[in-house]
Amino acid sequence: MHTFKLLGLPDSDHAEFEVECGKGTYVRALGRDLALQLGTFGHIRRLRRVAVGPFREDRAVSLQELQGLEPATLLSRYLLPVETALADIPALALTEQEARRLKNGQGVPVLPVASRSPFRDIAQGDVVRAVLDGQLIALARITGGEIRPVRVMNL
């Protein structure tokens, strides 16, 4: 958890908090655990998520705003590249030959690729983005000394 701030006490039975946390944090359990530590009971009455990864509420677009726009305007103004949603997954740069192998469903030896990578904490079972010249080729998993394609992209 990154931050856990008390914002206010509207009355003697309620408290308002702001939590900034990573994936895997169950905020409702956090509320329960806080109440237990205080020797009482508690629950989350209202929960509002204002950001998930690079997606923030202040950049959200209402349905009313989208209605009536031409498809080209929608694409150019609001559509983000697929890599935006995958930004927290480490990217491994491939050579053309390695990219071709992954595109064909074949594994690529991990050591040569990893030796060119700045990431030092990639381990067996991890999911990575396989890229060629900055373009996403596949989501892949490190398995048995290889980078194995999980989902090949045709972007």
In sequence order, what are the residues at sequence separation of 6 or more whose Cβ sits closer than 8 angstroms to the Cβ of residue 15?
A: 6, 8, 9
Q: Which pLDDT value is given to residue 73?
A: 84
**Is 7 or 55 the better-scoring residue by pLDDT?**
7
- Mean pLDDT over residues 24-51, rounded? 90
Q: Which CATH class is domain 85-152?
A: mainly beta
Q: How many CA atoms lie within 13 A of 24 on its CB side?
A: 3
Per-residue pLDDT tens digits for 73-116: 888 888 888 878 888 888 999 999 999 999 999 999 998 888 88
Question: Mean pLDDT in the chain?
Answer: 89
Q: Which pLDDT value is given to residue 138?
A: 94
Q: Which residue intervals of the chain bear CATH 2.30.130.10?
A: 85-152
Find out whether 132 and 96 touch, Cβ atoms under 8 Å.
yes
d(CA 37, CA 18): 18
For residue 57, CA distances in Å to 32, 54, 151 come to 26, 10, 29
